[in-house]
Structure 1
Amino acid sequence: MAIKNTFRKIFSTSTETREHHHEDSLKTRYYKTMKDKAMMEVETMLRNRKGFEVASVSEDHGEIVVNVKSGKKTFVVATIIMVRPFRTAVDFSVSTETFLFTDFGHSRKMIRELYTDLDKRLQFVGTGLGDELAK
């Protein structure tokens, strides 16, 4: 399994966060806030980043779609879901537009930067807490 994950990491132009990711830094992150406030903070954070252009915001679906125009052309989807009052999950999906078979870790690095910035804006609770919340 480790070899498969290594090859997937090397030969990839996109990265997604998820509940059970093999990399801790790419697990779903949870914040102590309501969905509306999280949506507002994520949207503000993305709008304020250089070269980021918010293409659409769907409050009903909890999604924000962004095109990154500067540097490497990138497509970002932020998904915000309130799993219970004052517990909101934030996931990112980043795809890099390249003619090569790899983005050399650009998408993983961008997700880590986005989470670092979001941690300064919202109260971080933990990662991969979905199993705990199901109890």
Structure 2
Amino acid sequence: MSIKQTLMKYFGNHAETRDKHWDASLQTHYYKTTKDKALLKLEELYTNKQNYSIQAISKEHGEISMYYKKTFIIITVISVRPYNTAIDFSVTTETILPFDFGNSTRRIEQLYQQINKELPYIKTTN
């Protein structure tokens, strides 16, 4: 991790996951399930969680948008092949300052930990 990447991680207010991310904790996670089952499980999980507020669910696009306190989260669920589904996040923290001291990245790590308990985890990309 370069100095620029470290600074961007802690002195920005946005983080997102992708297949080939320089930060291993922000790489896409894959699960052994279908897109529809994953969306249903995520909806169940975050509807009942305290401090989470689901704003919209688009089953056609495989997206859930929600708030956690002052953090806006978009979850994207993509079916790669049968029973191989990718889940990605885009997280933006709303703060007075133009940075969140790495809160967006930590939120993604916590979301993946919660989902790993609920869905059969396969792998991250390398």
Residues 89-112 of structure 1 deviation map (CA, whole Å, 9 limit, x = unaligned) = 000111000011211111111111
Name the residue aligned to 1:85.
82
- Do the aligned partners of 2:11 and 2:102 also contact (CA within 8 Å) in 1? no
Matched residue of 2:50: which SS?
coil
Name the residue aligned to 1:13.
13
Matched residue of 1:111: which SS?
helix
Name the residue aligned to 1:128.
125
Q: Which amino acid aligns with 1:10?
A: Y
Question: 1:45-60 counterparts in 2 under 5 A?
Answer: 45-60=45-60
User: How many Å separate the matches in 1 of 2:12 and 2:46?
Assistant: 23
Residues 34-86 of structure 1 deviation map (CA, whole Å, 9 limit, x = unaligned) = 11111011122222221111110000000000022x3xx11000000000000
Q: Which amino acid aligns with 2:80?
A: V
Name the residue aligned to 1:67.
67
Unaligned segments of structure 1, at least 5 residues: 130-135
User: How many Å separate the matches in 2 of 1:103 and 1:80?
Assistant: 26
User: How many Å separate the matches in 1 of 2:59 and 2:96?
Assistant: 33
Name the residue aligned to 2:97.
100
User: How many Å separate the matches in 1 of 2:118 and 2:110?
Assistant: 13
CA RMSD of aligned residues (A): 1.3
**Percent of counterpart pairs with the same letter?**
44
Q: Which amino acid aligns with 2:33?
A: T
Q: TM-score, normalised by structure 2?
A: 0.94
Name the residue aligned to 1:133.
none
User: How many Å separate the matches in 2 of 1:92 and 1:44?
Assistant: 17
Name the residue aligned to 1:132.
none
Q: After the TM superposition, which segments of 4 or more aligned residues of structure 1 sit over 3 Å from their partners?
A: none
- Do the aligned partners of 2:63 and 2:74 also contact (CA within 8 Å) in 1? yes
Question: 1:18-37 counterparts in 2 under 5 A?
Answer: 18-37=18-37
